[in-house]
A and B are shown apart, each in its own frame.
Chain A
Amino acid sequence: MSDQVETSSSRIWVFIEQEEGKPHPVSWELLGAAMRLSEELPGSVVEGVLLGHNVAGIAPQAYRYGAKRVYLIDDPLLETYRNLPYGHGVSKLVTTYKPEIFLFGATTLGRDLAGTIATRVQTGLTADCTELAIDPKQKILAATRPTFGGNLMATILCRKHRPQMATVRPRVLVMPEPLAEAEGELLRETLDLNESDIPVRRLRLIPGKERVNIEYADVIVAGGRGMGGPKGFKLLEELAESLGGVVGASRPVIDAGWLGHDHQVGQTGQTVRPKLYIAAGISGAVQHTVGMSGSNFILAINSDPKAPIFQMANVSIVGDLYKVIPELIRQVKGTRSGQ
């Protein structure tokens, strides 16, 4: 334990997720949220928690997103993510420094780890939050999350146990602007584990097919059941390409096998917040809209004038997809070729 660390201040912690030395952008989104929470909690300080092997180079990035201090455990045993050593290391930091609030990305890694930490230190964890705020009266974290497939929102409080933990999906929070320069303090801690203490080891990694990264796309052209079959997605691809975007889909499309799971937007897929979201043949079930309602601009195209998606779109077209989309492609490409 380091002496220069003040013991009285209330710490807002963000887990800085990295794999193969690359930080996950959700870490910066969380630091942005932590900075906003910190404004509501006088005397609080935003800090990062970083585990891995040879990852100290990530800390300065965390300072630029607002972390005043980064706690680092750098150990060869942390080369790849494993629940046990990461759980051990992070729990140890929590017990030593007693943060008030601790935020994780709701990624595969973050969910795996956060559930373990919360149980080890016996505290409350609110999963998959869409909004984080400080309750003005009680000065505690008010974490809002969708439940029952997005039909209901619930604001969860954790009154007596610390830290107050929450996970947030990538792209739910806005990405903050990093400072050009920022100073911070790096505090190294030790893991104190041996390989023989860890009953799990990675034998190999089968890399996925080139993954479609829809979470961070600026333009998404998404199709739903109304596309009628896999063929129409060629058209969507062409439109997406002409707009510099990617193709998304609602769940029925994935269930029918027309597109891979990587493309799925919604409750059981990805959360996205592109600048432009084009929803073609998507009726607008809440399970879908919960994953895309953060989009800046939504264009909905549907032949059914009563489609619920029209209630949330910035502009909607009632018409036949197979006429509207080719026309969109034609006009978008037309402007390119010289109007």
Chain B
Amino acid sequence: MALLRSYGWVRCTDKYDLDCAQQYENRRFRKARHVMHSVVAIKQVPDTSNVRINPETGTLIREGVPTIINPYDIHAVEMAVRIKEQFGGTVTVISMGPPKAMESLVECIEQGADRAILISDRRFGAADTLATSYVLAHTIEAIQEAGPIDLLLFGKQAIDGDTGQVGPGVAARLQVPLISNAVMIESFDPVARKAVIHRKIEQGVEVIETSLPALLTVEKEIAAVKRAPLPNLINAARYKPELWTGDAPVPFSPELVGIKGSPTIVGKAFTPTPREAGAILSVAEKGLSKTVADVLAMIVQANVVTFPNNNGGKQ
């Protein structure tokens, strides 16, 4: 493994020496290193493809809307589990949300996570991205007191709010490098505490080297989600996620959470104003050629496009 070769000072002259050096390093690695630890933050969201709006009040009808793990977040969990498979260690999943979000955390245990923490308190309600990033960052700091964290993984955005701001916010609070829109971990070296990550940007794929710990917000390509193996399912069936509140086991500053900690408020919510419907022409009634001719005439009349090729050859 690449990580074992990262010590330049081990000189190997022959096969035997190499083996000795490897064994020595293996021992050294185990002794010198703490256990590899990744933390993944997830969100339980309403399945937005099933969302309905009350047309009178302009508010979301939550009853009967199925909830799911935010689709990007599952891939973040999967990535953490794969790193655990390669390097050992543990995966902790955290989520801020209502008690119902326990279900989503249990699903993450099925996926291969070892520990799950729900941070839930009425006072945390109506948090915007600043207050949410405080709660998650404070939780991560508390987890870190028991031992260092190597990697933080977030989905690139949640499909309900779609802001994509919580991951960057947590990285800023914890002062760790932010790698957003990550699509691949090319190499990962917990000993040298370095990783090479591919991230998707507008011009292509940017390959960056970062120190660890780092915070990645991930695209779905980062890791294809596998079916949960049976032992994980058995494990998960018995597992109860930890419940952290605003007071215990670590206190959160009341003025930084929920509405109080949120600089933004919703002034009003409304359903989008629809465009007006125009003419509907039926091929069955008008005939194909006439329908298309009429439509093209309307487009020309609306003066939205001059057919670029129409007169190109003539004028």
Q: Please tell me if B250 contacts chain A, counting CB pairs below 8 Å.
A: no
Is the contact region of chain B dominated by helix, strand, or loop, or is it mixed? mixed
Known: A297-B299, A313-B278. 12 other contacts (CB 8 A): A108-B180, A115-B165, A118-B165, A124-B264, A127-B165, A147-B161, A155-B267, A200-B177, A314-B302, A320-B283, A335-B296, A336-B313
Q: Shortest CB–CB separation between residue A150 and chain B, in angstroms?
A: 7
- Residues A119 and B205 in contact, CB atoms below 8 Å apart: no
Q: Shortest CB–CB separation between residue B138 and chain A, in angstroms?
A: 13
Contact with A along B178-203 (1 / 0, CB 8 A): 11110000000000000010101111
Contact with A along B192-225 (1 / 0, CB 8 A): 0000101011111111111100100000000000
Contact with A along B143-183 (1 / 0, CB 8 A): 00000000000000001111111111101110001111100
- Residues B281 and A147 in contact, CB atoms below 8 Å apart: no
Q: How distant is the Cα of A297 from the Cα of B298 in the complex, in angstroms?
A: 10
- Residues A336 and B309 in contact, CB atoms below 8 Å apart: yes
- Residues A305 and B280 in contact, CB atoms below 8 Å apart: yes
Q: Write 6 A-B pairs (CB below 8 A) sorted by A numbering.
A: A118-B165, A148-B46, A152-B59, A207-B203, A267-B162, A315-B280
B274 contact set on A, CB distance < 8 A:
311-312
Is the contact region of chain A dominated by helix, strand, or loop, or is it mixed? mixed
A-B contact count (CB 8 A): 291
Q: How distant is the Cα of A114 from the Cα of B269 in the complex, in angstroms?
A: 24
**Contact A119 B168, CB 8 Å, known A149-B49, A312-B274, A324-B288:** yes
Q: How distant is the Cα of A310 from the Cα of B275 in the complex, in angstroms?
A: 10
Q: Please tell me if A190 contacts chain B, counting CB pairs below 8 Å.
A: no
Q: Shortest CB–CB separation between residue A312 and chain B, in angstroms?
A: 4
- Residues A118 and B130 in contact, CB atoms below 8 Å apart: yes
Q: Which residue of A lies closest to B264 (CB)?
A: A124
- Residues B263 and A317 in contact, CB atoms below 8 Å apart: no
Q: Please tell me if B304 contacts chain A, counting CB pairs below 8 Å.
A: yes
Q: Shortest CB–CB separation between residue B203 and chain A, in angstroms?
A: 6
Partner of B279, one of A155, A157, A315: A315
Most buried by A among B165, B177, B271: B165
Number of contacting residues on A, CB 8 A? 95
**Contact A318 B281, CB 8 Å, known A118-B169, A128-B162, A204-B207:** yes
Q: Please tell me if A238 contacts chain B, counting CB pairs below 8 Å.
A: no
**Contact A124 B263, CB 8 Å, known A107-B202, A317-B283, A336-B313:** yes
| Segment touching B, from A29-37, A67-75, A158-166, A225-233 | A158-166
**Contact A115 B177, CB 8 Å, known A202-B206, A335-B307:** no
**Which A282-332 residues sit within 8 Å CB-CB of chain B?**
285-287, 290, 293, 296-299, 305, 310-320, 323-324, 327-328, 331-332
- Residues A318 and B264 in contact, CB atoms below 8 Å apart: no
**Contact A135 B267, CB 8 Å, known A152-B53, A203-B196, A335-B307:** yes
Partner of B291, one of A151, A296, A319: A319
Q: How distant is the Cα of A122 from the Cα of B134 in the complex, in angstroms?
A: 10
- Residues A156 and B267 in contact, CB atoms below 8 Å apart: yes
- Residues B305 and A218 in contact, CB atoms below 8 Å apart: yes
Partner of A203, one of B46, B202, B207: B207
Q: Please tell me if B248 contacts chain A, counting CB pairs below 8 Å.
A: no
Q: How distant is the Cα of A193 from the Cα of B303 in the complex, in angstroms?
A: 53
**Contact A305 B282, CB 8 Å, known A148-B51, A328-B296:** yes
B206 contact set on A, CB distance < 8 A:
80, 202, 205-206
Q: Shortest CB–CB separation between residue B61 and chain A, in angstroms?
A: 10
Q: Which residue of A lies closest to B165 (CB)?
A: A115
- Residues A219 and B305 in contact, CB atoms below 8 Å apart: yes
Q: Please tell me if A201 contacts chain B, counting CB pairs below 8 Å.
A: yes
**Nearest 8 CB-CB pairs, A to B?**
A115-B168, A319-B283, A124-B263, A149-B48, A244-B308, A208-B204, A124-B264, A161-B263
- Residues B201 and A108 in contact, CB atoms below 8 Å apart: yes
Q: Please tell me if A84 contacts chain B, counting CB pairs below 8 Å.
A: yes
Q: How distant is the Cα of A283 from the Cα of B258 in the complex, in angstroms?
A: 39
B208 contact set on A, CB distance < 8 A:
200-203
A243 contact set on B, CB distance < 8 A:
305, 307-308
Q: How distant is the Cα of A337 from the Cα of B312 in the complex, in angstroms?
A: 9
B282 contact set on A, CB distance < 8 A:
305, 317-319
B201 contact set on A, CB distance < 8 A:
81, 108-109
Q: Please tell me if A57 contacts chain B, counting CB pairs below 8 Å.
A: no
Q: Please tell me if B10 contacts chain A, counting CB pairs below 8 Å.
A: no
**Contact A317 B295, CB 8 Å, known A118-B169, A287-B49, A323-B288:** yes
Q: How distant is the Cα of A337 from the Cα of B309 in the complex, in angstroms?
A: 9
Partner of B277, one of A118, A160, A313: A313
**Which B223-275 residues sit within 8 Å CB-CB of chain A?**
262-272, 274-275
A205 contact set on B, CB distance < 8 A:
203-207
Q: How distant is the Cα of A67 from the Cα of B73 in the complex, in angstroms?
A: 40
- Residues A157 and B265 in contact, CB atoms below 8 Å apart: yes
Q: Please tell me if A56 contacts chain B, counting CB pairs below 8 Å.
A: no
Q: How distant is the Cα of A324 from the Cα of B210 in the complex, in angstroms?
A: 53
Q: How distant is the Cα of A203 from the Cα of B281 in the complex, in angstroms?
A: 56
Q: Please tell me if A19 contacts chain B, counting CB pairs below 8 Å.
A: yes
Partner of A111, one of B128, B159, B164, B292: B164
- Residues A151 and B48 in contact, CB atoms below 8 Å apart: yes
B129 contact set on A, CB distance < 8 A:
115, 118, 125, 127
A146 contact set on B, CB distance < 8 A:
162, 272
